[in-house]
Each structure stands twice: as C-alpha cells, then as structure tokens.
Structure 1
C-alpha cells in the first residue's frame, strides 16, 4: 500500500458520511478563469497548505483569509486550498473562507473520487477542482471531469508520467498539471516538468502547470523555460515571511523570460 492508496481509501470512507448539499445562500465574489489568465501570461497558483504527509506540519495555525488576500494582492493567478482534513489538516471551511474574500479563481485541492465532492467544492466557492489521474480509473476520471464541466467548473487534471499525460490529453483537458512529486513515494524532482513537457502539445487552447518542488525564483524560471504557463506553490509560500514578494519575483519579467 502506498500513501496515495491510504488517502484514497480514506476518501471512500469519508464520502459515506457526506450529505447532499442544499441551496447555497453565500454570495461569492465573481471569479475570473484560470485558463484565461494563463493563456495571457504566466502565473502562480498560490496554495493554502497547513500540513502534508511528507512534510508534517507546515503552518497549522494561520490566518487563511489574511494569507489569501496577500496572495491576491501580489498578483496570484489563483488560490489553491487543501481541503483534506486527515492528511493535510485542511477543511472545506478553509475553502469557503478564502472563496468569500477573493475575486481570483479558487481551486479545491483534494483527492476527488465522487460527484458529491465536486458538489461540496462548488458549494464552498471553488471554481476549479483537481482530478488526479493516478487516483482514478479512466472511466471514473472521464465521468468526474464531464460532471465538473457541466457544473461550470474548471478542471485541473494532474499527471506524473507519460502514460498519465496521454490519458489527460485523450480527455482534452485544458488545464494539465505535472506533479513533480511522485504520489506513491513522495519523491520530488522539478526535472519531471522538463521531461513531460517534451510530449506536451502546446496547442488546442491547453496550458501546462508545474506543481510541487518550487522553492525559489530559479525554480519558477526553470518551469517557465520548459513550457509551463503556471506553477503551483504551497510550502514555500506558507513558510515565507513575505509570500507576496515571492509571488512578485516569480512573475517578474526577469523570471518569465
């Protein structure tokens, strides 16, 4: 059993306790789309990440509303919120609190295996959901992707190897994320982006996003130089004393050349 297997098994247990969401009384600010942003200019998807299985506690006690506002003010392309409770110490409430105060896209970062999770994410203000190819059967992936799109959500399809990339392309995913972290071992190498970008067709209105392992402006430059339009950054921003400055440096003219 890998860590990913454990997480997915937990998700199936959790969704048994979920109740269908009702009418949403919250009036969330209108959001732009991530795809439109990344088609125009490179950007940072800035993450609210309290903890992780590989790093343990990162910053459990944090004012997530203040953090989200810092991200938006610095020009983040979107905000990703970890909503997994057991392994990442996040919550669906974290997502809702962020979605209420920002006008940029909000990604529900979780391990989606069921439509009810998609509904909960949208109900909490998410405009993007994550679907992980390694965590889903091909038909399950297609079903959840179609369902999310039918609800007006954007879908970030995450891959880690050549075979998974081909699955994402068969799905005609517009937002394709290369996870530089192997979810089975949790080993990280940003070279993974460079490797898979060689097989990525930069046409059809799709964009490439590099996820995990981004700690410096040089890491951002490496991802952009290898075709990424966006980078997803969590730990570095959560540990930074000035996350806004990190974002500004990673999206400066010098960084995106």
Structure 2
C-alpha cells in the first residue's frame, strides 16, 4: 500500500503556473452556495443586495494573517489553476461553485439572490456540486487511514474486463453490464418494488456478464449498502460502482464495499485526473470504465495510455437527451483503428431498448453494453434481457 499512499500525497502547485494572485481588496460579501435547483432561490447573503454583474464575479476569500485564511487562499489559487486546465480541455462542468458564502455580516437583513456563481448550470453540475459537499462529510467520518485498514479485509476483486470478453465470445453479442438502478433525475422512480439483491440475482440468471450498481443517494436513490449487499449475497458477476467520482478517496471506499470496477466521467475529470485515478485503480485491482459523450472527450481519452474500457454515453449529461447515433459518430475509422491497436473495449451506454438498438451499436464497433432503464422496468429482469437481445443469452 506504500505506492497507493505515495500517490495520495498532494502535489505542490506553483501560483506562477498561469494563476493570478488574488487581490487583497475584496467586496464585503459574496453569494452563498446552493447545491439544489429546487432551493436555489433560497440562497442567502448577509449583506446589501448585489447586482447580477457583481454577484457573478469570482473573488478569493478575504486576506488576513491567520493560517486558516492563508490555507483558503492557497486552495483558491489551486482551484483557479484546475479551472484553467479543465477549460483548456473543453470541460464546462464546474467542480464547485466559483463564489463562496459571505465572509462578512453587514446590516440586519438577509437577501435572497440568484446568480451564475451560486446556481448550477445543468443537472450534472448540480450533482457534482452536491458530491463535493457530501464528500467533505464522508471523509471526516471515514478518513483515508481507516479505509486503508478496511482494504485488508475487503473481498478480492474479480476480472471485470475478462467477464465482458468471455460473454461476447460465448454469445456473439455485446457483453451485458446490467444496471441496478431505482431512479434517475430525468425519469424519476423506475421501479417501486426495488430489491437490489433480487434484481442482481435475476440479471445474473438472465445472462448478464457484469452488474452496475448506482451508489448516488440524492439523485438516483442508490447507496453503497446496495453494492455491499449484492457482493455479500454471493453474486458472481463482477460489480461496477456507478458513482460520480471526483476524488481518489471514492476509489478506496468503493473497493472496501466490494466493487470490481469504477466509473470515471471525462466531462468532469481532466486528463491528469484520469491518469492519476487509473493508476490508483490499478494498484487497488479495480477496472476503470472511462465515459465519454463527445468527440473531443473521446480523443482526449484515447490519448491517455493504459485505458482499457471506454464507455460512449448516448445521453448528453448536461441536457439528459438521448441519441444512440452518438455511438456511431464517435466510432469513425480513425478512432476505431486506435481502439483496435490499443485493445480497448468500447461500451455502449443509454438509449438501448430493442434488439435493433443492440445490433446498431454492435455494428458501430461496440463490444459491450451498459443497460439500466429498459431492464429494471421489466416485471422479470431476466426475461427483460432475452427481450433486449432477441434471444436467451443465459448460461
């Protein structure tokens, strides 16, 4: 584990790397953070009401001689550098609100305002902002040192990639990653009688090669307890932890809960993030499914060494609209050549409901598919798999 802990040590960042030092003079107050669309109008500032132009301006925390504020300034500088790197790679999702809570109390009144700085611009950004707050609480309860101890008794990982390849060779069809998912932000509750272990058993009976388990609680009504319960129930299918991962801590936590693979989303993570996390995954024995949904993201990921699984999401993660032709668009001749040379498995994701949909993405070059909604809604998920593929693929 020494290699893992070495990777986890923070890397020094110089403020000279394209970051302008924060001003020592700042306005008296800034908007507070709201990470919920439904409550964004309740964002409070304890100050005079700001006009919309001023409210959207990003400013550092106030400067003082205290160590706490010095640390805040350094974090602000690092964050601004990360934003510049992300922007240079076409990443539009902000990892956290650029404006923070008010630093001063001015006057006896509280004003409710909404500005670009404290309002998520789309559902994915809302999820990521909430995840940042959630992670701070989790890490306080379960520091990394405790996760390291839990790894000593965690079950061994299974071969996620090998299971997909074996299923494809056995059936002549894309290997199936069947998703255990109760709800989604776009569709609401997908299955009222949701029993994750029974659903997982049905998927395995129906011929699934691997399972994907949603662990996000707020937006998908999932949990890490579901992941652990499925693993403890003796399910043989390797398990993908379907989570919005923004920090390496989540990789360790997923591993302690029985995950064999994790999801990394290119529209949220920079190239350096992906390289760093895939190295930790390798040390932990986890497979990494790196998800893309644009041509630029695909080219970024194909340029990173060591990638073995690439998922093409036909759902736009910012608007949640679905178009399965996205798979074919991203798998042109040039990219397909790179994929074959590197031995990468491409996974088709979202919008797959019929045998014709499966044939379409398979013809485009997909070797595995990740399917949730069209299976989870079936009275018998095992029979749903046979309907999806047009034949029985169970062993």
Q: TM-score range by the shorter chain?
A: over 0.9
Gaps of at least 5 residues in structure 1 are none
The match for 2:126 is 6
Give the TM-score of the pair, scaled to structure 2.
Answer: 0.61
Indicate how the Cα distance of structure 1 residues 49 and 176 shifts in structure 2: closer, same or farther if over 3 A, else same.
Answer: same
Structure exhibiting the larger radius of gyration computed from Cα positions: 2
Out of 92-101 and 107-116, give the one that drifted further. Answer: 92-101
How far, CA to CA, are the matches of 2:192 and 2:229 in structure 1?
Answer: 16
The match for 1:37 is 163
How far, CA to CA, are the matches of 1:31 and 1:12 in structure 2?
Answer: 27
2:137 equivalent among 2, 17, 25: 17
Please tell me whether the aligned partners of residues 221 and 250 of structure 1 are also in contact (alpha carbons under 8 angstroms): no
- Bigger relative CO (Cα 8 Å, ≥ 6 apart): 1
Deviation, 1:223, is: 1.4
Deviation, 1:23, is: 2.1
Matched, 1:238 2:365: no
Out of 71-80 and 217-226, give the one that drifted further. Answer: 217-226
How far, CA to CA, are the matches of 2:341 and 2:237 in structure 1?
Answer: 25
Summarize the alignment of residues 1-257 of structure 1 with structure 2, pairs less than 5 Å apart: 1-18=121-138, 19-20=142-143, 21=147, 22-23=149-150, 28=155, 32-40=158-166, 41=168, 42-101=174-233, 102-172=235-305, 173-198=307-332, 199-200=335-336, 201-251=339-389
Give the TM-score of the pair, scaled to structure 1.
Answer: 0.92
How far, CA to CA, are the matches of 1:253 and 1:238 in structure 2?
Answer: 18
How far, CA to CA, are the matches of 2:192 and 2:252 in structure 1?
Answer: 26
Q: How many residues are paired up?
A: 254
How far, CA to CA, are the matches of 1:44 and 1:61 in structure 2?
Answer: 23
The match for 2:102 is none
Please tell me whether the aligned partners of residues 242 and 263 of structure 2 are also in contact (alpha carbons under 8 angstroms): yes
Please tell me whether the aligned partners of residues 84 and 90 of structure 1 are also in contact (alpha carbons under 8 angstroms): yes
Please tell me whether the aligned partners of residues 50 and 57 of structure 1 are also in contact (alpha carbons under 8 angstroms): yes
Say what the alpha-carbon RMSD is for the aligned residues.
2.0
Indicate how the Cα distance of structure 1 residues 60 and 15 shifts in structure 2: closer, same or farther if over 3 A, else same.
Answer: farther
Please tell me whether the aligned partners of residues 68 and 79 of structure 1 are also in contact (alpha carbons under 8 angstroms): yes
How far, CA to CA, are the matches of 2:320 and 2:153 in structure 1?
Answer: 37
How far, CA to CA, are the matches of 2:308 and 2:151 in structure 1?
Answer: 28
What does the per-residue CA deviation read over 1:22-77, in whole Å, with 9 as the maximum and x for residues that have no partner?
4258664x664232233341211000111111111111441111110111111101
How far, CA to CA, are the matches of 1:254 and 1:50 in structure 2?
Answer: 25
Structure in which a larger fraction of residues adopt strand: 1
How far, CA to CA, are the matches of 2:351 and 2:157 in structure 1?
Answer: 27
